[in-house]
Amino acid sequence: MKYSLGLLVLFVGATLVAADQDYEGYRIYEVIPSSADQAHLLHQLSLQGYDFISETRLLGHPSRVIVSPGQLEQFERLVEAENMTHNLVNSNLGASIAEEFAQRQMQRLLAPITGKGRLSTERYYTHEEIINYIDDLAQRFPSRVFVKTVGWSYEKRVLKTITITNGDGKANKKVIFMDGGFHAREWISPAAVLYVIDQLVEQFEENAHLLKDYDWVILPLVNADGYEHSQTGTLARMWRKTRQPYTYGGQTCYGADPNRNFDFHWNEEGASSNPCADTYAGPTAFSEPETITVRDLMHSLADRGIMYLTIHSYGNYLLYPWGWTSDLPENWEDLDAVARTGAEAIQNATGTEYTYGSSTNVLYIAAGASDDYGYYAGFNVSITMELTGAGSIGFNPPVTRIDEFVTETWIGIRAMAEKVIEMY
Ligand code: ARG
Ligand code: ZN
């Protein structure tokens, strides 16, 4: 074990290529650690430039990792030396991405969208379509729905929130703040958030109890630049970060991980100082206009803010603070009760199992994320939801399954909101 990790260190940095790239010949492995040593090896790999597309430290639970052709020999040697269960789940990521892209081109021809009226769950939308959609809702439901410009991305895309009320005109209600699309490639996240918006606005009668004493403030797409970038072509499909350029040792790499960029124990653990890494914390905390926007929203809502909910994919987790330490926050039993309520509601409805707990204890230690910051800023409950993964990459649920995943997500979110409303 010690010896194999020693060897691993020799490879540091050699594998960092968070740039547009061709994934020809890259593989995805599912790895299932059954001992603390095996889990430790996985964590070491994640710090050494292996891209874990879903990662947990829980023994017996699967993590998924991308292995490049150059990493393959080392990877196999290490997992075999540790005797760790590992299954090849994708033998050519490049081919999967190309296939998904071709299908997407087809769908755009078959299902063009005007941005007016309800969005279907038939495909993934662009930033512009999402903005048009919420603007349109504000026009159609002027007494209940309000849209506000809250910031601009690095590439000057507009960031807008939609505030959903019951239209009774009462000011200063308690607030549920939700966002999606922190990580570019997690396309199901904004899709799920759009469905929540649809339910609260179009299915108002059924959901009026969620809006009686609470307003919902929703930012459907935080990382607009990254999301758009990830739709530009096959080489960009796996993009995670924002798009602000950073130059490092003569090389320019793009973006910071917005979920490592918040100023609360910033860059202490589980983040990288290398601009070319996928978990780059940024040169300073709040170096990204997108995270500044979320921060300012959080502070402006904090005294009314009861729950903050941020939607990612994937892995089926409901995570609460802290992510910067294995300690638990003071009201962790409340957080646990809310997360458990969400997990149970989903399990009862669809059979999908969600694992819940503090993000350090369930996933891995990682500081500077928005959930920790929201809790620190004053939200009583703060939850990161990692949705169901599907498709050949995990980030690419086929469009035929969007409906299934967004309705499942809504069941969990609605149950958590009901619980929070009962508790606070
Ligand atoms: N997959 C998410 C990420 O890596 C999980 C964040 C969980 N929260 C935390 N504070 N570490 O960004
Ligand atoms: Zn994410």
* 369 CA → ligand 2 middle, Å: 10
Cis peptide before 314 (omega within 30 of 0): yes
Same domain, 73 and 154: no
Catalytic residue from among 386, 404, 408, 422: 386
**382 Cβ closer than 6 Å to some ligand 1 atom:** no
Per the rule left: phi > 0, alpha: psi between -120 and 50, beta: everything else, 115 is: left
Indicate the Cα dihedral angle 415, 421, 423, 424, nearest 10°. 150
Cβ 116 vs Cβ 128: under 8 Å? no
Which domain covers residue 317, as residue numbers?
Answer: 123-229+283-423
Same domain, 76 and 164: no
Ligand 1 atom index nearest CA of 366: 11
Q: Which ligand is nearest to the CA of 259?
A: 1
* 359 CA → ligand 2 middle, Å: 13
* 9 CA → ligand 2 middle, Å: 27
Same domain, 30 and 147: no
Predicted pLDDT at 6: 43
Structure-block tokens of residue 410: 């809504």
**359 Cβ closer than 6 Å to some ligand 1 atom:** yes
**371 Cβ closer than 6 Å to some ligand 1 atom:** yes
* 359 CA → ligand 1 middle, Å: 7
Residue 366 lies in a domain: yes
Same domain, 81 and 133: no
Predicted pLDDT at 249: 84
Same domain, 287 and 412: yes
Residue 195 lies in a domain: yes
Same domain, 150 and 78: no
* 366 CA → ligand 1 middle, Å: 6
- Is 386 an active-site residue? yes
Ligand 1 atom index nearest CA of 270: 11
* 259 CA → ligand 2 middle, Å: 8
Work out the burial of residue 216: count CB atoms within 10 Å of its CB; fewer than 13 is exposed, 13-18 middle, 19 or more buried.
buried
- 146, 176, 217, 303, 334 from 163: Cα distances, Å: 5, 10, 4, 16, 26
Strands 174-180 and 305-313: parallel
Angle at CA of residue 367, ends 280 and 249, nearest 5°: 20
Residue 256 lies in a domain: no
Q: Which ligand is nearest to the CA of 188?
A: 2
**309 Cβ closer than 6 Å to some ligand 1 atom:** no
Task: Kindly list the averaged pLDDT for each block of 10 residues, start to end, along the chain of length 424.
Answer: 43 56 95 95 88 93 96 96 96 96 82 61 92 96 98 98 98 98 98 97 97 98 98 95 93 96 97 94 98 98 98 97 98 98 98 98 96 98 97 92 96 98 98
Q: Which ligand is nearest to the CA of 366?
A: 1
Q: Which of 44, 67, 91 is the last residue of a domain?
A: 91
Structure-block tokens of residue 419: 């619980």
Read off the CATH number of the domain in which 16 is found: 3.30.70.340
Same domain, 327 and 416: yes
**366 Cβ closer than 6 Å to some ligand 1 atom:** yes
**319 Cβ closer than 6 Å to some ligand 1 atom:** yes
Read off the CATH number of the domain in which 396 is found: 3.40.630.10
Same domain, 82 and 129: no
Give the residue whose CA is nearest to atom 10 of ligand 1. Answer: 323
Residue 234 lies in a domain: no
Ligand 1 atom index nearest CA of 364: 11
Same domain, 216 and 360: yes
Residue 378 lies in a domain: yes
Same domain, 61 and 196: no
Residue 218 lies in a domain: yes
Q: Which of 72, 91, 110 is the last residue of a domain?
A: 91
Residue 98 lies in a domain: no
The DSSP bridge partners found for residue 151 are 159
Count the domains in the chain. Answer: 2
Same domain, 33 and 170: no
Q: Which of 48, 70, 91 is the last residue of a domain?
A: 91
CA distance 68 to 63: 16
Residue of 319, 326, 383 to test ligand 1 pocket, by largest number of atoms within 8 Å of CB: 319
- 51, 64, 380 from 392: Cα distances, Å: 16, 12, 37
**200 Cβ closer than 6 Å to some ligand 1 atom:** no
Give the residue whose CA is nearest to atom 12 of ligand 1. Answer: 259
**186 Cβ closer than 6 Å to some ligand 1 atom:** no
- Encode 50-75: b = buried (16+ Cβ within 10 Å), e = exposed: bbbbbbbbbeebbbbbbbbeebeebb
Predicted pLDDT at 17: 58
Residue 323 lies in a domain: yes
Same domain, 139 and 287: yes
Structure-block tokens of residue 255: 């973006």
